[in-house]
Amino acid sequence: MEAFLGGCRAALQDHIQNKQEVHVVLGNESCDLDSMVSALALAYFFAKTTPDSKVAFVPVLNIPRSDFPLRTESTFFLREQQIPEHLLIFRDEINLAALHQSGLLSLTLVDHHVLPSEDTALEEAVVEVIDHRPLERERRLSCKVTAELVGSCATLVTERILQSSEDVLDRQTAALLHGTIVLDCVNMAPEAGKVTPKDIQYASLLERKFPDLPPRKDIFEALQSAKFDVSGLTTEQMLRKDLKTLSGREVVIALSAIYVNLQEFLRRPGLEQELHSFCQLRSCNALLAMSISFSEHNEPFRQLAVYSPSGALRMAVCQALELSCSPSLALSPIESPSPSICAYNQGNTAASRKKVLPLIKDFLREWGQPNSAGVAMQPETTGLFCKARLESKGAESGNRERDGAHKDPGKPQRLGDDLADDDAALPPTPMNSLVDECPLDQGLPKLSAEAVFEKFNRIASARSSTEGSPEQK
Confirm whether 133 is domain-assigned.
yes
Strand partners, 58: 24
Residue 344's alpha-carbon distances to 49, 134, 267, 330, 334, in angstroms, are 50, 27, 15, 9, 5
> Same domain for 43 and 105?
yes
Confirm whether 412 is domain-assigned.
no
Sheet of 126-131: strands edge to edge?
A: 56-60, 22-26, 105-110, 126-131, 144-147
> Same domain for 311 and 216?
no
**Which among 352, 386, 420 is the end of a domain?**
386
Taking the C-alpha atoms of residue 350 and residue 423, their distance in angstroms, rounded to an integer, is 10
CATH code for the domain of 362: 3.10.310.20
CB 188, CB 156: distance < 8 Å: no
> Same domain for 309 and 355?
yes
> Same domain for 340 and 206?
no
Of 25, 55, 57, 216, the closest CA to residue 131 belongs to 25
Give per-residue pLDDT as tens, 29-43.
989 999 999 999 999
> Same domain for 200 and 93?
yes
Distant-in-sequence, close-in-space partners of 147: CB < 8 Å, separation ≥ 6: 113, 129, 130, 131, 132, 133, 134, 135, 431, 434, 435
> Same domain for 12 and 121?
yes
> Same domain for 183 and 242?
no
Give per-residue pLDDT as tens, 121-153.
999 999 999 999 888 755 666 789 999 999 999
CATH code for the domain of 61: 3.90.1640.10
Give per-residue pLDDT as tens, 239-271.
988 889 999 988 999 999 998 899 999 999 999
**Which among 334, 357, 386 is the end of a domain?**
386
Distant-in-sequence, close-in-space partners of 146: CB < 8 Å, separation ≥ 6: 128, 129, 130, 131, 156, 160
Taking the C-alpha atoms of residue 247 and residue 252, their distance in angstroms, rounded to an integer, is 4
Confirm whether 413 is domain-assigned.
no
More confident residue, 194 or 401: 194
Confirm whether 402 is domain-assigned.
no
> Same domain for 176 and 262?
no
Confirm whether 465 is domain-assigned.
no
Confirm whether 414 is domain-assigned.
no
Q: What is the DSSP letter of 402?
A: H
Taking the C-alpha atoms of residue 289 and residue 198, their distance in angstroms, rounded to an integer, is 31
Taking the C-alpha atoms of residue 258 and residue 241, their distance in angstroms, rounded to an integer, is 8
> Same domain for 212 and 319?
no
> Same domain for 249 and 200?
no
Residue 402 Cα to chain centre, angstroms = 33
Taking the C-alpha atoms of residue 144 and residue 48, their distance in angstroms, rounded to an integer, is 20
Range of the domain at 79: 2-227
Q: Give the pLDDT score at 460.
A: 54
CB 346, CB 330: distance < 8 Å: yes
Of 310, 248, 241, the closest CA to residue 280 belongs to 310
Confirm whether 148 is domain-assigned.
yes
> Same domain for 126 and 205?
yes
Give per-residue pLDDT as tens, 282-295.
999 999 999 988 77
> Same domain for 211 and 358?
no
Taking the C-alpha atoms of residue 396 and residue 359, their distance in angstroms, rounded to an integer, is 19
Taking the C-alpha atoms of residue 329 and residue 159, their distance in angstroms, rounded to an integer, is 32
**Number of folded domains that form the chain:** 2
Give per-residue pLDDT as tens, 312-324.
999 999 999 999 9
**Which among 211, 227, 243 is the end of a domain?**
227
Q: What percent of the chain has pLDDT over 90?
A: 62
Taking the C-alpha atoms of residue 334 and residue 252, their distance in angstroms, rounded to an integer, is 25
